Structures are given as C-alpha cells and as structure tokens.
Amino acid sequence: MTDTQTLLAAYDAQLRGAPPTAVTHPPDGPLTRIAGPLRALVTAPRELGLRGSELDELIARQRDFFAARGEAVEWRMRGHDTPADLPDRLRAAGFAPGPQETVLAAVVAHTAVHRAEPPLPPGVTLRRVTDDADLLAVAALQSAVWGVDLSGLGGDLIARVAAAPRDTVVLVAEADGVLVSAGWLSVRPGTEFGTLLGGATLAGWRGRGIYRALVAARLVLAAAHGIPYLHVDASADSAPLLRGMGFRTLTKMTPYVWSP
C-alpha cells in the first residue's frame, strides 16, 4: 500500500512547478510564475529557503511584477509549507487569503470506483467534449456556478485540447441537451499524477450523484491511461465525498490573492 506521506512527498516533488504546456513568466529564485485564464499563479517548493527581509523582498517583487502588468496574482500556500510566518508576510504585502481548499490524492488502483461507475440520475448522460462551442459552454457553466467571469477558461481549454487531447479530457453531464455539470482530467506528462479540475454542478442539479459520477468516470479514464495517482484541490463541500471514494487528505491549500 502507498501511505499518505509517500503520496505527499510525490505531490511535493512532482506538482509544485508548471505543467509542460503552461505559459510561464521568468522565474524568481525558488518561485515559478504561471499565466492563467483568470489570474497569474505563483507556486513555490515546500521550503522557500528565505527568511525575514529577504522573504519580504521576494513577495514584494511578485506583487510589483504583476502590478506593472496590470494583472492579479495568486500565491498558493500549502499547510505544510515553511517558513511558518509566510501567511503573515503575504498579508502584510497586500495578498488577501481566499477560501481554504483540501489537497487530496488517490491511488487509482486502490479505488473501487475505477472499475464500476456509479449510476447517473434518469435523463442525465455523460459525454466527452472537444469542440470549441462545447468548451466555451463549459466555461459559461463554470461562470454561472461560481458567480465570477471565467469566460477566459474557454480559450484555455480550447488551446489545451488542441495541443494535447490525450492530456486534457473534458466531460460534461447533460439533461435534455442542457449542460448541468462539467469537469476535466488533466494529465501532467513526466509525472505520476493526473489532476481533477472544474468539477461544478448547477445548483438545481446538486445532490443527485452527478458530481460523484463525473469523478468516477475520470478515475476510469485514469486507470485506462495507466495513471497511478489522482490529485484534486477540493472545496469544503467536495472533500467529504472524495474521501468516501478513496481519496486521502494530504494537506491544505490557501490561495493568497493580490489584485491591482
């Protein structure tokens, strides 16, 4: 059996940098800067290796770099990152903490649902989408569910699917031709991980097993692709369901966001 600490070590070693297809900005010391459809991302190793004024200067440089570009930026901090005063220093530089998420991972071969997908509600079907119009509709669904403009996600998904269709697999749930839920599996080449992203369901369709079915379908895909591990950053609502499907809690993740 793969224990949780082994999974966490693999996560730290393999998922802290940018995916091969990502658009990146010049790095700054230990930090990786990644362009995103909503805002830029800053990610760091578990141990930054800086303290005091040196750390404050590093943080300020990220704020000032993206301020000069007129862009918002998100610094993703995990619960086991060091130094311990990093959150205080981020806040002092103007980064505001967002809702905390739970970082979970599953060993695909150890989850029962990768062998048998749970049933969908009557009248609901799943399908894989690759057409531009469908991917733009996925972005519109995400915007409706989260209440923010995520229209830029449509172009991002179109580019990903066109560049590497095997590495980004988008699934939607439909009822009478209406999109009610969507999520995708992102495979990071060169690692042992796939990542579950975008799991969102319209309010009137929640609590019917659609989210669970989308997760299970992507577990089946991961097993078919020979992916050992799946990772997801889950909301407070999703985390208990994922744990019930065989995912384990690795750590917490808090996004610290600076906006111009």
What does the pLDDT read at residue 148?
A: 86
Is the pLDDT reported for residue 114 higher than 80?
Answer: no
Q: Is residue 1 included in any domain, yes or no?
A: no
- State which H helix or E strand residue 122 sits in: none
Give buried/exposed letters for 231-244 (b at 16+ CB in 10 A, else e). Answer: bbbbeeebbeebee
pLDDT at 1: 57
pLDDT digits 0-9 by tens, 155-214? 989 998 998 889 999 999 999 989 999 999 999 888 999 999 988 999 999 989 999 999
Q: Is the same domain home to 168 and 194?
A: yes
Domain assignment present for 224: yes
Measured between alpha carbons, how far is 80 from 233 in angstroms, rounded to an integer? 15
Count of structural domains, the chain: 2
What CATH number is attached to the domain comprising 155?
3.40.630.30
Enclosing domain of residue 207: 106-253
Q: Is the pLDDT of residue 11 over 70?
A: yes
- Residue 154 makes CB contacts below 8 A (sequence gap 6+) with 135, 136, 138, 139, 140
Mean pLDDT across 138-145: 93
Residues 94 and 24 in one domain: yes
pLDDT band at 237 (very low <50, low <70, confident <90, very high): confident
Q: Are residues 39 and 159 in the same domain?
A: no
Section 59-74 average pLDDT:
95
Q: Using the 3D structure, point to which of 100, 129, 144 is the last residue of a domain.
A: 100
* Residue 10 resides in a domain: no
Last residue of a domain, one of 100, 130, 159: 100
Give the whole-angstrom CA distance, residue 250 versus residue 158.
Answer: 31
- Give me the percent of the chain exceeding a pLDDT of 70: 96
pLDDT above 80: residue 98: yes
Q: Indicate if the pLDDT at residue 41 is higher than 80.
A: yes
Confidence of residue 119 (pLDDT cuts 50, 70, 90): confident
Residue 36 lies in a domain: yes
Considering 75, 100, 125, which residue would you say is the last residue of a domain? 100
Residues 86 and 162 occupy one common structural domain: no
Whether residues 195 and 229 fall in one domain: yes
User: Which of 91-95, 149-153, 168-172, 238-242 has the lowest average pLDDT?
Assistant: 149-153
190 inside domain: yes
Question: Whole-number mean pLDDT of the chain?
Answer: 91
Residue 132, pLDDT > 90, answer yes
Q: Give me the pLDDT at residue 113, please.
A: 64
Comparing 17-21, 55-59, 231-235, the range with the smallest average pLDDT is 17-21
Residue 258 falls inside a structural domain: no
Can you read off the two tokens belonging to residue 116?
């048998």
Residue type for position 68: A
For position 112, what pLDDT does the model report?
66
Cα 197 to Cα 117: distance, rounded to the nearest angstrom: 18
Pair 87, 172 in one domain: no
Cα separations in angstroms, 47 against 16, 101, 139, 193, 206:
11, 20, 35, 22, 39
User: Do 123 and 165 reside in the same domain of the chain?
Assistant: yes
Q: Decide if pLDDT at 2 tops 80.
A: no
Residue 118: what pLDDT? 67
Write down the H helix ranges in the chain.
4-14, 52-69, 86-92, 132-146, 152-163, 210-224, 238-244
- For residues 69 and 135, membership in a common domain is answered with no
